Amino acid sequence: MQWSWRKTLYCATGILGKEENLTSEPFTRSCWGRISPLYWRVPILVWALVVMLWSISFFWGPTEKFLLYMTHWGLAFVVLESSFGIFVAIGRKGLTDATFGLPWYVKTYWILYNITIPVAFLITVFYWGILKTSAETVNFAPNPVLDIMLHGVNSAVMLVELVFSAHPSRLMHVMQPLYFAGAYMLFSVIYYFAGGLDPWGNPFIYPVVDWSKPEQTMVVITLTALFLALMHLLTVGIAAARDAIAKRRLAVPAGVYNDAFAP
């Protein structure tokens, strides 16, 4: 049997689980009534693109080292997530995949959504709670306004996406943000052993993730992974509360109720 690109994408997105009973409809609207997601996803995309260009312009080192930092990975994911969210909201019905349930672009958006929101929360807490209080002070943000945009507003815009969306968030999808974090950890390990330096010539990307001190770093990595899982749990909880409030306020079913334990 010939292997097609659709089957390849299905395998790649199979971590979403079986979604035969879930249609694309909840992904194309708000849980708060007849509000188009374009009203918040377009501004989020514009914000992310502006902050991305701003960050590159004010980056404190060589441009080729811009993507060393998880903050910038998270910002790039906001761009991707909002772009696919706009594409989904427009509703390209002709691309529906009847064989595997949800269309490929809806699955892709959902995976990006599941990753980007808890990662944004993690970046905010990790930056202000750990990096800003680290004994090895590094000036990651020469521009204080940009500092807040990257490490505060990022969570705010993703909270808007979470609160206004109508599709579910599920506990079983916790591995998706953890895979993202694992990919970044692997990147940092390879970069370290390849002799990579940060813009100031240090042999690490973040002072608290220094692979010359593997025991200390593994403790930080483990705690960060646990906290990221907690951020996913928080995301699921907010989604469940959102749907419960919307259902009661509208006095009619607002769509797919956020059953966090659905397979």
pTM of the model: 0.85
Lowest mean pLDDT, pick from 39-43, 133-137, 152-156, 244-248 = 133-137
Residues 30-34: what's their mean pLDDT? 88
What's the pLDDT tens digit per position in 46-83?
Answer: 999 999 999 999 898 899 999 999 999 999 999 999 99
Tell me the β-bridge partners of 209.
206
What's the pLDDT tens digit per position in 198-230?
Answer: 988 999 998 889 999 999 999 999 999 999 999
| 33 residue type, one letter | G
| 156 residue type, one letter | A
- CA 29 to CA 251: how far, in whole Å? 17
What's the pLDDT tens digit per position in 176-205?
Answer: 999 999 999 999 999 999 999 998 899 999
What's the pLDDT tens digit per position in 118-152?
Answer: 999 999 998 888 777 665 555 666 688 999 999 99
Cα 123 to chain centroid, rounded: 10
- The sign one gets for the Cα dihedral 29, 31, 32, 38 is negative
Cα 246 to chain centroid, rounded: 24
